[in-house]
Amino acid sequence: MPNDGDAREQPVDHDENQVAAEGNEPEDGAVAPEQDESQSAASSTADIENETAGPEASISALEDELADLREQLLRKSADFDNYRKRMQREKEEFAIYANRELLLDLVPIIDDFERAIKSGEESQDFTAFHDGIVMIEKQFISMLERKWRLSRFESVGEEFDPQRHEAMLTEEVPGHEQSMVLEDYQKGYLLNERVLRPAKVKVSMPVPGDGTDTDEASASNE
């Protein structure tokens, strides 16, 4: 049977055990080595995933941008094709109707010719028929000059101009120092003061050894 002395010799110091246990626990805010390694590994994995996701996101964004540019290109190409077709159609329509106003001015002249021909057939009067044709021609030329600035020019007696005249025949004429227009086979026309059609003419040619220059020189010496 234990005595009181033995019980006093083996006392349990609860305060020291509690202090020791508390000393083994980590302080507030401190991280255990195993936890620190786990967090470092997780952080490294996250960095690798971010580094991998960055180029993939850039490639995806570039692919989207490329697809958008292709769509814009196709749309612009379709717009341009429609514009080209519209311009071609308008060009064809303009070519068809460009001379509409001129044709409207020519139709009354045709009417006048029909009336003149009919009148000549009925009356058998050549003089009246001739006068009617002359009057129609004058009206026709006047209309062209007034509304369309188309005019005929005279050539006979003018100095030969290759820009205005086309020589069909030539003839040596004494006393002509320069080529002159002798006869007008076909009238020339000007459009807005520019040659639309040159006149077809007969042209004089100076006679070689004509002596005109010699006679003039002798007269001046006297």
pLDDT at 79 over 90: yes
Tokens representing 164? Answer: 């205005």
Of 174, 184, 165, 166, the residue nearest 204 (C-alpha) = 174
Mean per-residue pLDDT of the chain: 80
**The pLDDT of residue 36:** 56
Q: In what order do the strands lie in the sheet with 181-186?
A: 165-172, 199-205, 181-186
User: How does pLDDT run across 15-61, given as a tens digit for each residue?
Assistant: 444 444 444 555 554 445 555 556 565 565 656 555 555 677 788 88
Q: What is the pTM assigned to this prediction?
A: 0.54
Cα–Cα distance list, 198 to 46, 146, 164 (Å): 91, 21, 5
Dihedral sign from CA coordinates of 172, 173, 178, 179: negative
CATH number, residue 189: 2.30.22.10
Q: Do the domain assignments include residue 190?
A: yes
Q: Is 216 a member of any domain?
A: no
pLDDT at residue 211, as a whole number: 57
The total number of structural domains that make up the chain: 1
The 10s digit of each residue's pLDDT in 154-213 is: 999 999 999 999 999 999 999 888 999 999 999 999 999 999 999 999 999 988 876 555
CA 189 to chain centre: 33
- Domain that includes residue 177, residue range: 151-210
Q: Which two tokens stand for residue 50?
A: 């971010």
Report which of 178, 176, 196 is spatially closest to residue 188, judged by C-alpha positions: 196
- DSSP bridge pairs for 150: 191
Residue 155 inside a domain? The answer is yes
Q: Is 118 domain-assigned? A: no
